Amino acid sequence: MKSTLFRLLSAAIIGAAALIPSPAQAAKVRVVTTLTDLADFVREVGGDHVEVFSLATGVEDTHGVPMKPSFVPVMNRADLVVCVGFDCEHAFLPALLEASKNPRIQYGKPGYVDCSLGIAPVDVPKSTDHSEGDVHPYGNPHYMLDPVLAKTAIQNICQGLVTVAPQYQADFTRNRDAYLAKLDAKIAQWQQESKALKGVQFVSYHEHWSYFAERFGLKYIGTIEVKPGIDPTPRHIENLVTEMRADHAQMVVREPQFPEKVPALIARQTGATLVKLPIMPGGVPNTSTYIEMMDYIIHTMVAAEAKRG
Amino acid sequence: MNLKYLIGWSSALCLSAIIAQAQETNEVDKLDQRLKQIQESFEKQQREMRENFERLIREQQAQIESLKKELANIPTNAVAAPTNAAPAAAVTPEQLKELNTKVDGVVDAQRQVRPGAFNPSIGLVGETVFSYRSKGSDQIGTDRPGGFDAFQRSVELNVAAAVDPFAKGYAVLNASADAQTGEATLGVEEAALQTTSLPWNLELKAGRFFGEFGKLSYIHDHELPFVNRPLALDQYIGGESRTDGAQLNWLLPVPHYVSLTTGAGVGFGGDSPLNNPGAYRALSGFNYYGRLSTYFDLTPNIQLETGISGLINPSTQDRGGVLVQPDGSTLTEKERRVAGLDLKVSYVPLRNNQFQRLDWGTEVLYSDSRYLFNPSGSLDPANPTHTAGWPAPSPDDYYGNVGSVGLYSYATYKWHRQWSAGFLFDYMQSAENHNDVTVAYSPYITWALSHWNQIRLQYTHTDHNAVSGLHPDDAIYLQWAWIIGAHSHGWQAR
């Protein structure tokens, strides 16, 4: 009896010892970003101190990233969630945040990084009721296609990383400065290369390009969608074609997540050049970083314009 | 003997490890405390920064308004006239206009937030179902009349807001037109509190809500992939899985998505009768339910979600009263048990998921209720037995279980942002008699003009039911559902 008790007690002690967790190792900061451009920035600023997971892969509509349950455990363990802001991710982020059951990354908490802080929005709607379609009440959220405004996002990301991992502040700051210097050099290059695009008039499927057009001097004359999230009607297509012909619009931009049929039809009827342009890294092949994506966009538009002669 | 020494030495070693670990843990505790202090200091600084920022915003807004007034008073030709200043320093009308536009944008964006900052999100759903059924309700066993009908099935008000940093509250009030009077009386479908900051990945919901059973039980009628709720869910659950009680959800702390939900409540099923507790309800009078679910990314574009569910009400206390069968016998329910297996496979191409999607969903349910059988039909419907224990009221009465299977399976294909079509198959053995089988087939097509406005056309053929005597029926439904106000893409809508 005594020996049995002794055996049981020893087994219990061995079992308990196995369950005691070992001291925490120096852990990387776990960051979840909504879109791939943010993931690229986090990797640049975070360096070896971060583990990054992007909910989008680059090919999705930014407003339609699927809410996969497989995202939930990743977000549950995240230290930081980074989003574009201006309600860009309203279709999937709020539900995922709630399902994640991670109090550290909820809206307003230090682990929630809104990259739109400090950016003056354009296209702020006068009315937010549904007669205007799926509008963004706080303004156009697609500022990341303006590399100058993307620098603000990078600053916000750096600040967010420092908040949750202050011990790496020096590294984050050094990485941020190095990347901003690299980005500044590329911005100067893009400004130079895009001189050929000054005054080019174009339409796109969705209103992604307001900030880009303003930065690089293009004229953005409309969208193929009737309203945000509302597919074009025959009447709208007819009116758009008429307007484009009157303005001698040169380009039709199709984002890869939209069907080609209507943009191609409009391009044929107006004589404009149809170009396919990504809106985040990974949207087309060989654009795995933000800089590669912007290179692709500028070079494709310049080449299309050059081909028109 | 050797074994004893081995175990003894192992225990001693383990104890030493524990002590060493404890010492190390002390150091970790000290570091932890310091980190907590730093964190508290950060949070305090952040609070102060937030307050300062809000004060700054208010001051800046006042300045912006004042600047705008000044800008409006500057005559444009005064800016254009040459001055002694160098031309590069002159502000052009275009620059002024651009600055004005930017300032307007910032102010407008702030206005979108501030006035609505403390309002809950409010939305209203309207749903009307126009229909034609080839048989009368007496021949097909429906509440609504056969022939032509226009049914205001939902006028649903949704309200939700954060209660405090720890919980959010929501309510769904619905009015549905009565088949006889046409009156739509407002009822509470859901009104619950849901925690938002419990530790250990827990979430508690309490109040009136749709309990998590299966995949479609807790989906509101207008959000179903087809017009009508599957027959098996209608009969075994009782429509939507409404209950008054509490539910606890646990997201397992593992890298793979596994979710466990368990709950208890008075009643389960919005269209299902309650128990008859009389003067006192024991715990056995509650409904206890649970669901274990998991998910797999089969490929980046193909998803699989599956779950098992269970529901038991140990003492239903003659729920629904004395149930008269077609052959004149009667049943009185004593215990309710339902088990379910759900599976949903979805093809969601990442590149154009707004324009293309394929869903296949199936649920198989097994109902195993216990009844008091009264073959002679002698039990007085106005005075059903209320017994402590299980005595039979007359010699030929007996207790027994009825095991019944019900299932539905549907597939919906979306080929355009606005268009989708699908097919639903229903199979149901009555929970009171598994020989009483109903089978139905329903093709449907949906036109979603936008997120908030959709029309669905569905045809349903219901086979003849030899046991119940219900006639075969052909029905056409035209469902129109719309939403105004706030809309949220909740977790259940994925």
Tokens of B229: 């709720």
What would the pLDDT profile of B139-184 be if each residue is shown by its tens digit? 777 788 889 999 999 999 999 999 998 999 999 999 988 878 888 8
Check if A268 contacts B (Cβ < 8 Å). no
What is the pLDDT at residue B158?
94
Query: B253 to chain A: nearest residue by CA?
Result: A73
Cβ–Cβ below 8 Å for A73 and B494: no
Query: How many other β-carbons are positioned within 10 Å of the β-carbon of residue B164?
Result: 9
Residues of B in contact with A7 (CB under 8 A): 7
What would the pLDDT profile of A154-176 be if each residue is shown by its tens digit? 999 999 999 999 999 999 999 99
Tokens of A69: 């349950």
Query: B167 to chain A: nearest residue by CA?
Result: A98
Cβ–Cβ below 8 Å for B201 and A98: no
**Distance from CA of residue A278 to its chain's centroid?**
11
Is residue A294 very low, low, confident or very high in pLDDT (cuts 50, 70, 90)?
Answer: very high
Contacts of B50 by beta carbon, 8 Å cutoff, 6+ apart:
none
Cβ–Cβ below 8 Å for A126 and B108: yes
Residues of B in contact with A17 (CB under 8 A): 14, 17-18
Tell me, what amino acid is at A224? I
Query: B357 to chain A: nearest residue by CA?
Result: A66
Query: How many other β-carbons are positioned within 10 Å of the β-carbon of residue B356?
Result: 18
CATH number among 3.10.180.10, 3.30.300.30, 2.60.40.3140, 3.40.50.1980, domain A195-308: 3.40.50.1980
Tokens of B382: 């106005």
Tokens of B326: 């077609």
Query: A104 to chain B: nearest residue by CA?
Result: B197
- pTM for this structure? 0.81
Say which residue, B109 or A48, is predicted with more confidence.
Answer: A48
> pLDDT tens digits, chain B, 494 residues: what are they?
466 655 555 555 555 554 445 454 555 566 567 656 656 665 665 566 666 656 666 766 776 777 667 666 665 544 444 444 444 557 788 888 777 777 766 666 665 554 455 678 899 999 999 999 988 888 777 788 889 999 999 999 999 999 998 999 999 999 988 878 888 889 999 999 999 989 999 999 999 999 999 999 999 999 999 999 999 999 999 999 999 999 999 999 999 999 999 999 999 998 888 877 778 889 999 999 999 999 999 999 999 999 999 999 999 988 887 888 878 888 889 999 999 999 999 999 999 888 999 999 999 999 999 998 888 777 665 555 544 444 456 778 888 899 999 999 999 999 999 999 999 999 999 999 899 999 999 999 999 999 899 999 999 999 988 777 778 899 999 999 999 988 665 777 66
Tokens of A12: 């219990």
What would the pLDDT profile of A237-276 be if each residue is shown by its tens digit? 999 999 999 999 999 999 999 999 999 999 999 999 999 9
Check if A139 contacts B (Cβ < 8 Å). yes
CA distance B475 to chain A (A): 32
Residues of A in contact with B28 (CB under 8 A): 23-24
Torsions phi, psi for A27 (to 5 deg) = -100, 150
How far apart are the C-alpha atoms of B266 and B246, rounded to whole Å?
10
CATH number of B122-493: 2.40.160.10
How far apart are the C-alpha atoms of A251 and A267, rounded to whole Å?
8
Q: Where are the beta strands (DSSP E) in B329-452?
A: 330-347, 357-374, 398-414, 419-430, 433-450
Interface test with B, best of A130, A143, A227 (most B CBs within 10 A): A130
CA distances B338 to B314, B398, B406, Å, are 11, 22, 10
How far apart are the C-alpha atoms of B212 and B263, rounded to whole Å?
8
How far apart are the C-alpha atoms of A264 and A259, rounded to whole Å?
9
- Classify residue A256 by its DSSP letter: T
SS3 content of chain B, % helix, strand, coil (to 5): 25, 45, 30
CA distance B7 to chain A (A): 7
Beta bridge partners of B208: B191, B244
Q: Is-contact B423 B410, C-beta < 8 A?
A: yes
- Helix or strand or coil: residue B133? strand
Q: Which residues of B245-254 are buried (b: 16+ CB within 10 A; e: fewer)?
A: bbbbbbbeee
Find, among A212, A217, A39, the residue nearest to A115 by Cα. Answer: A39
Residues of B in contact with A258 (CB under 8 A): 352, 355
Q: Which of B15, B303, B489 sits opposite A91 (nearest CB)?
A: B489
Contacts of B297 by beta carbon, 8 Å cutoff, 6+ apart:
A68, A70, B303
What is the pLDDT at residue B468?
76
Residues of B in contact with A217 (CB under 8 A): none
Find, among A186, A245, A141, A189, the residue nearest to A44 by Cα. Answer: A186
- Classify residue B89 by its DSSP letter: G
What one-character-per-residue DSSP string does A102-151 give? -GGGSTTSTTEEETTTTPPPSS--S--SGGG-S--TT----GGGSHHHHH
Check if A228 contacts B (Cβ < 8 Å). no
Interface of A with B in 56-85 (CB under 8 A): 57, 59-61, 64, 66-70, 72-73, 76
CA distance A122 to chain B (A): 6
In which element (H, E) is residue A290 found?
helix A290-308
CA distance A42 to chain B (A): 22
CA distance A76 to chain B (A): 8
Tell me, what amino acid is at B393? P
- pLDDT at A107 > cutoff 80: yes
Rg, C-alpha atoms of chain A:
24
Check if A274 contacts B (Cβ < 8 Å). no
CATH class for the region spanning A29-190: alpha beta
Q: Which of B18, B24, B256 sits opposite A17 (nearest CB)?
A: B18
Tokens of A270: 């107006």
What one-character-per-residue DSSP string does A53-95 give? EES--SSS-TT-----TTHHHHHHT-SEEEE--TTTTTTTHHH
- Helix or strand or coil: residue B110? helix
Domain with CATH 3.40.50.1980 in chain A: 29-190, 195-308
Find, among A98, A137, A107, A133, the residue nearest to B115 by Cα. Answer: A137
Is residue A21 very low, low, confident or very high in pLDDT (cuts 50, 70, 90)?
Answer: very low
Find, among A228, A221, A273, A259, the residue nearest to A242 by Cα. Answer: A221
Residue with tokens 């929005």: A121
Cβ–Cβ below 8 Å for B7 and A76: no
Residues of B in contact with A138 (CB under 8 A): 109, 112-113
CA distance B491 to chain A (A): 5
